[in-house]
Amino acid sequence: MMHGQLLTYSLAVPYIVGFIQLLLNKKASGKVHAAISSISLLVPASVSIIVFGLYGAYSSYKLTITNLGSFMLFIDGLNWPVVAGIALVTVLIAIYSYPYMEVRFNELGSIDWGIYYFLYVYFSVSLLGIVLSNNFILFYLFLEVSLITSFLLIALYGYGNRQRISLIYLIWTHLGGFLFLVGSFIYGLTLHTFDFYPPPMPSGLMLQALGPLAAIIVTLILLGMFIKMAVFGVHMWLPYAHAEAPTPVSALLSPVMIGIGGYAIIRITYMLFEPLLLKAQLVLLALSVVTIIYGGLMALKENDFKRLLAYSSIAQMGYMLMGIATLSPIGILGALLQFFAHAVGKSILFSSAGVLISKNDNLRDINKMGGLARSMPYTSSLALLGFMDISGLPPTVGFFSKLLILIAVGVELVKLGLPGMLLLAFVLLGFGLTPAYAFYAMKRIFFGPPKIKGVEANKTMLIPIVLIAIVGIITFAFPSTIVNSVSGFLHTAFVIGVVMD
């Protein structure tokens, strides 16, 4: 029993520790809270990765309830990259949070280490819970905890009109959650189970059993997850929420939380309803292109560093959607690798922005920056690596995610003849926009004539960012750590595989 419940028990550890931290609140120092939070989050992260390494696929014992299905936590080749990305960022940003939030608490005039880390830990571990869930109900419960805790983190510790912005965030994200929930209930009440893993029946039989309801379910889930991903048309909330959240929270919201929407589309709609997605493939591809180009153009003209990164996240989710829209194993592989690459690159960039904010009098306006590489060599080097990652340049893991997505979309669009070739031209434009805004921002912020003398980050801030960057470079050097697990899963599911030695 203990062996079978490893994931369950490990996930419970941060919830228990976070509650204890809430009770302690001001009775422990920020350093102690940071260390406890990081260690507690390391427990489920380590257990998940170790059991996957040992068993390849692993699940906890099921709790089965009639008409609701089974409830369990699991890890396999498909969610492994997502688990790894969440684990990497949440564990290390917990440490980064301490020096950053120390400055923010001084600005706010109150010190609430226990409350902050309670919310941070519950938010972080719930993200893991979402990805490890096998059942719509369990998925939504974890999702709800993550939404409420992130809302409170923005409302309590954000910038600007944080109460209004956090409310916008709450409404939009709950609208997405509501659509997802309605689709889930139609699915569960019709099939008498809310399980999506393992599938309750083969795809063909499921489509027969659901009939016309299948299209409604897929549409609702897609719309809900599009809001979560901030796909063009339902993206309006993201630039406000991600830009005005406390930067450590932005480092989780932007690269990790929104990407879970893409994972849900793969796990649920792609794995269960691929024939229905195929009918909407061209629409999905066009929407992904529009999202990439819109996010890139908005980032190109933005002067607020954090808002620039927020618009960049919209574009990066466009890449993930594009990989999914190819409906090919290579595209799905690229999309999941894109999640991990975005987690690495964008957490580095938001953390770099946090250094400018916390160490340089809330410096966010790019027009006031310039030449900062001279006084901030470590931060500028890390930011360069982050920009290279989101641009898909070596030696970053983003190189492989963009390459695989481009190959997959190219293959699919060529099949469409002239319309496909025209759309491919816009795809290439979108791919070119990312390095354009990335290196234009890099030039404006860190190079050219110095306008101010920047203050470099201390070791407590730098070490977590450096470790994230190192993991990204190692993954570039050994992409098989992620690629083989995903391609192996897809080979088993669809008799097609991609292996990198």
Residues 6 or more apart from 407 whose CB is under 8 A from it?
330, 334
Residues 6 or more apart from 185 whose CB is under 8 A from it?
none
DSSP sequence for 90-145: HHHHHHHHHHHHHHHHHHHT---HHHHHHHHHHHHHHHHHHHHB-BHHHHHHHHHH
For Cα atoms 258, 262, 266, give the angle at the middle one, nearest 5 degrees. Answer: 160
Distance (Å, whole) CA 161 – CA 159: 6
HSE of 196, CA atoms in CB hemisphere, 13 A: 28
> Please, what's the b/e burial string for 307-343 (b: 16 or more CB within 10 A of its CB; e: otherwise)?
bbbbbbbbbbbbbbbbbbbbbbbbbbbbbbbbbbbbb
- Among 262, 257, 347, 340, which Cα is nearest to 81's? 340
Residue linked to tokens 């599009």: 226
Residue range 392-421, pLDDT digits in tens? 999 999 999 999 999 999 999 988 888 888
- Determine the distance from the C-alpha atom of residue 155 to the mean position of all C-alpha atoms in its chain, rounded to a whole number: 21
Distance (Å, whole) CA 156 – CA 161: 11
Number of helices (H) and strands (E), helices first, in the chain? 20, 4
What are the residue boundaries of the structural domains of the chain, listed by start? 280-501
Output the six-digit token pair for 379: 């931060």
Q: Which H helix or E strand runs over 398?
A: helix 398-414
- Three-state DSSP state, 286: helix
Residues 393/472, Cβ–Cβ less than 8 Å: no
pLDDT of residue 501: 39
Alpha-carbon torsion (431, 435, 440, 442), positive or negative: positive
- Among 231, 236, 228, which Cα is nearest to 261's? 228
Residues 6 or more apart from 73 whose CB is under 8 A from it?
7, 8, 11, 59, 60, 129, 132, 133, 134
What angle in degrees, to the nearest 10, is found between the helix axes of 80-108 and 480-494?
A: 130
Residue linked to tokens 């990198």: 500
- Three-state DSSP state, 448: coil
pLDDT of residue 494: 62
Q: Is the peptide bond before 198 cis (omega within 30 degrees of 0)?
A: yes
Using CA atoms in the order 191, 196, 202, 205, what is the torsion angle rounded to 10 degrees? 30
Each of the 501 residues of the chain gets a pLDDT tens digit; together they read 455 688 999 999 999 999 999 988 778 888 999 999 999 999 999 999 899 988 888 888 788 898 899 999 999 999 999 999 999 999 999 999 999 999 999 999 988 899 999 999 999 999 999 999 999 999 999 999 999 999 999 999 999 899 999 999 999 999 999 999 999 999 999 999 999 998 988 888 999 999 999 999 999 999 999 999 999 999 999 999 988 999 999 999 887 899 999 999 999 999 999 999 999 999 999 999 999 999 999 999 999 999 999 999 999 999 999 999 999 999 999 999 999 999 999 999 999 999 999 999 999 999 999 999 999 999 999 999 999 999 999 999 999 999 999 999 999 998 888 888 888 999 999 999 999 999 999 999 999 888 889 899 999 999 999 999 999 999 999 998 888 888 888 877 764 434 343
pLDDT of residue 500: 43
Residue linked to tokens 């234009």: 440
Q: How far apart are the first and last CA of the chain?
A: 36
- Three-state DSSP state, 464: helix
Residues 426/289, Cβ–Cβ less than 8 Å: yes
Alpha-carbon torsion (37, 38, 41, 43), positive or negative: negative
Using CA atoms in the order 218, 222, 225, 229, what is the torsion angle rounded to 10 degrees? 160
Count Cβ atoms below 10 Å from residue 135 Cβ, excluding itself.
Answer: 24
Distance (Å, whole) CA 348 – CA 355: 11
Residues 267/321, Cβ–Cβ less than 8 Å: no
Distance (Å, whole) CA 120 – CA 150: 8
DSSP sequence for 186-222: HHHHHHT--B-SS-SS-HHHHHHHHTTHHHHHHHHHH
Paired strand residues for 133: 73
Count Cβ atoms below 10 Å from residue 27 Cβ, excluding itself.
Answer: 11
